[in-house]
Chain A
Amino acid sequence: MTNPAIEGAAKKTPDGLARRIRGLSDRTIAWIFVAPTIFLLLAVNIFPLIWTIRLSFTDFRVNRPNNEVEWVGLRNYQRILSDPDIWATMQATAHFLIWTIILQVLIGFTLAFLINKKFKGNDLWTTIIVFPMMLSPAVVGNFWTFLYQPQIGLFNYAIAFFTGADPASFSMIGDVNLAPWAIVIADTWMWTPFVMLICLAGLRSIPDSIYEAAECDRASKWRQFWTITIPMALPFLMLAVLFRGIENFKMFDLVVQLTGGGPGNTTTLTSIDLKREAFERWRTGYSSAYAVILFVTVFGLASIYVKALNKVKER
């Protein structure tokens, strides 16, 4: 039991303790504990990823099992990057991403700020506000189509009630100009609470003593807000933006149920487009290349963003 390798593996275990351990060595236990997880992740995450990369250089199609599969080199990538429709879906995705993040950060932060005033019963109301994000986006998204119905839908009726417009005169999910906003509204309703919770954690992490010191210096509340609250909460805000950004880049369930990508291609986000290519047209090779491009994009953007985030944290 004096094997140096085991000593190394049990580094965290205090000196002199290792030799007292009976049964399996720490190293063995470590592997027994980690192996199933690693195996499952390899099988379900890593192996498919490699397979996708491999397929992306072929013209394989699932629905043509009898066709011979050919290597086509970079043709799939060339086709995707030169396809104007793909750029249109990227634009739709960008519109969705940018506006959901802006709205959710604004509303989420405001709510967190208000909740942090610790009025009576604030935790119950916080819980109620959190409801939407706990629910199934597909099921709720499906019901939002009902709320958005002209005439019979509650949303149109409410808008009409407050603006005096005819509730049948506009259709949130049927109109080319309104549909991109319909999905932004539904997503904001659903995910603002998430941003709110993160912001709340940020606000609560600011020690009272800083405010007390500022108060002694006779800094105005307004000034305290801009010089203490915002800078201290900024890393949390940025984190919330990161998570919402990644999640909404992947967005599928809510939007597919709401608009199905229409009208036209106005709400065809990349995931919806990818689903069409992969599971309706069954262009497996082509859509694998598409998936790889998406992965590289989100991974690249996220890495850059995380670097920026770390800089802010260090300040």
Chain B
Amino acid sequence: MSFSVTEPSLRTKWFAGFLVIGYAIITLIPLVWIIATGFKSPADSIAYPPVVVFEPTLEGYVNLFTDRTRATEQMLEDAGPPTTWYEQIARDRGTVISGPSRYGERFLNSVIIGFGSTALCMILGTMAAYAFSRFKVPLKDDLLFFILSTRMMPPIAVAIPIFLMFRNLGLNDTHLGMILLYTAVNLSLSVWLLKGFIDEIPIEYEEAALIDGYTRFQAFYKVVLPQAATGIASTAIFCLIFAWNEYAFAVLLTSGNAQTAPPFIPTIIGVAGKDWPAVAAGATIFLVPVMVFTILLRKHLLRGITFGAVRK
């Protein structure tokens, strides 16, 4: 490494590193606490003072995935001895498992709606971005700004007419309705981001392809798409994370059928009172994939955030 006047001294680096790592650790504590609480027993979870060292149990996870009833003696007699480890956990609390809970369904809804809307958004977004980038579309700038400005509306304000419209069209509480809605919400930012990525691809590539006898369509998907793949991927991650985390529309427009996990998790209750380990377990299963994603794809992700915000 060559010496440079702008290269900070080693002491500065140490000091900066110390502060940043300190902040990172503080920032992590609430997340670690969520994960830890998921493995606590209900009594440990509400212990005073809060316990750091505890005997881990899977009770929170069992409670998350099952509905339980307080057992009467008659029921225990009928059911016989517990045959599985999770039944044993429920029995230890004087309850019997009456069936699976709704969590699995809600999680699956999140997956379907998240990936469905992301896929649709990428298909439509890439096409529109290509057109905006390569062709002269009338009123292009106004259109782009208007598309972006719709994101300034509070979701609750948008939800009023959407709610009425969905009700008339029978889209309330359906997967299709939520996929269309999230696609529309994400589309503006996606087009914005993707146009930037496509702008960066030299137009000469396509020209060469066109001269070689490709049609526009062929040039688009054989030349432009592969070049834009990284850009599309990082845009897709954004759309996915938005749809995954979205709460306001989900809580207002879905209920029994298409409800996603975010409105569901806070409502998890136990046999008596709030079951914090189960809530934490539900949150952990929901949040950890995003954290893993963030670490694995950090280069694209961080670039995408700044890129999207800083452009123009």
A and B touch in the complex (CB under 8 A): yes
CA distance in complex: A275, B253 (Å): 13
Q: Pick the residue among B19, B48, B263, B310 that contacts A114 (CB under 8 A).
A: B19
CA distance in complex: A257, B279 (Å): 13
B152 close to A295 (CB less than 8 A): yes
**Range class of the A interface residue count:** 35 or more
Q: Looking at the assembled complex, report how far the CB atom of A6 sits from the nearest CB atom of chain B, in whole angstroms.
A: 11
Q: Is the C-beta of A298 less than 8 angstroms from some C-beta in chain B?
A: yes
**Residue of A at shortest CB range from B125?**
A37
Q: Tell which of A72-80, A81-89, A137-145, A173-181 binds the partner.
A: A137-145
A271 close to B20 (CB less than 8 A): no
CA distance in complex: A40, B251 (Å): 22
Q: For chain A, what secondary structure do more than half of its interface residues adopt (helix, strand, loop), or is it mixed?
A: helix
CA distance in complex: A91, B49 (Å): 36
> Mask for A45-56, Cβ within 8 A of B = 1, else 0?
111110110010
Q: Looking at the assembled complex, report how far the CB atom of A50 sits from the nearest CB atom of chain B, in whole angstroms.
A: 9
Q: Which chain A residues numbered 184 to 208 have a C-beta less than 8 Å away from chain B?
A: 189, 193-194, 197-198, 200-202, 208
Chain A neighbourhood of B23, CB < 8 A: 107, 111, 129
Chain B neighbourhood of A62, CB < 8 A: 163-164
> Mask for A266-299, Cβ within 8 A of B = 1, else 0?
0000110011001100001001101100110011
A26-B135, A40-B187, A136-B287 are known contacts. Are A125 and B21 too (CB-CB below 8 A)?
yes
Name 18 A/B residue pairs within 8 A (Cβ), A-sorted: A33-B130, A36-B124, A40-B124, A41-B150, A44-B185, A45-B158, A51-B165, A119-B16, A129-B23, A131-B294, A137-B245, A137-B247, A197-B302, A197-B305, A211-B5, A250-B154, A271-B248, A288-B161
Q: Name B residues whose Cβ lies closer than 8 Å to a Cβ of A.
A: 4-6, 8, 12-14, 16-17, 19-21, 23-24, 27-31, 33-34, 37, 46-50, 124-125, 127-128, 130-132, 134-137, 143, 147, 149-165, 180-181, 183-185, 187-188, 191, 203, 207, 210-211, 213, 215-217, 241, 244-245, 247-248, 251-252, 261-263, 265-266, 276, 279-280, 283, 286-287, 290-291, 293-295, 298, 301-302, 305-306, 309-310
